[in-house]
Amino acid sequence: MSPEEMRQALLVSEKTGLPNRRAFDEGARSDWVAMLDVNGLKKFNDEYGYKAGDFLITRVAEELVGAGLDAYHDKGDEFLCKGRYEELRDKLAQARAWLKERSFPVMCLDGRVATLPGADFCYGIGKTLEEAERSLKNQKEALKASR
């Protein structure tokens, strides 16, 4: 592997195939960024296993790309996106709706295959990552309060 191929490999998430946080940091700056994470992943992992949780994270990545987002896999169940505010808002809403409405099969801890209802994620948008993180935190708190 050439040095350039090794460098490119360091910029991709092995789990999702998306560019990773390092690629996000080294890439072109954007006026707006979004931070998102998958709702209920710990409970999902506990019930269905970590392979199923990894599959769910991959599904989220696919929906983000399918919606046309400039998406990055940060770590675990966290993703980052870059773009214009309206584009981020509309495309994240689209990816979220698709993920919620599409059921998917997973291999459970006990070896059975279960078809699960769609999943969901929360997101925050800001001019900086810090603003996006605060917005995400506020959205998650509002979600908890509504339950």
Q: Taking the domains of the chain in order of start, what are their residue ranges?
A: 17-146
Q: Give the mean pLDDT of the chain.
A: 90
List beta partners, residue 105. 115
Q: Is the pLDDT of residue 9 over 70?
A: no
In CATH, the architecture of 17-146 is 2-Layer Sandwich (3.30)
pLDDT tens string 12-44: 999 999 999 999 999 999 999 999 999 988 888
Match 């006990």 to its residue by tokens: 110
CA dihedral 100, 24, 58, 13 (to 10 degrees): -170
Report yes or no on whether pTM surpasses 0.85.
yes
- How many CB atoms neighbour CB 64 within 10 A? 29
DSSP category for residue 118: P
Q: pLDDT-derived band of residue 6, with 50, 70 and 90 as boundaries?
A: low
pLDDT tens string 98-130: 998 888 787 777 777 877 777 899 999 999 999
Strand arrangement of the beta sheet that strand 32-38 belongs to: 70-75, 78-83, 32-38, 121-126
Cα 30 from chain centroid (whole Å): 18
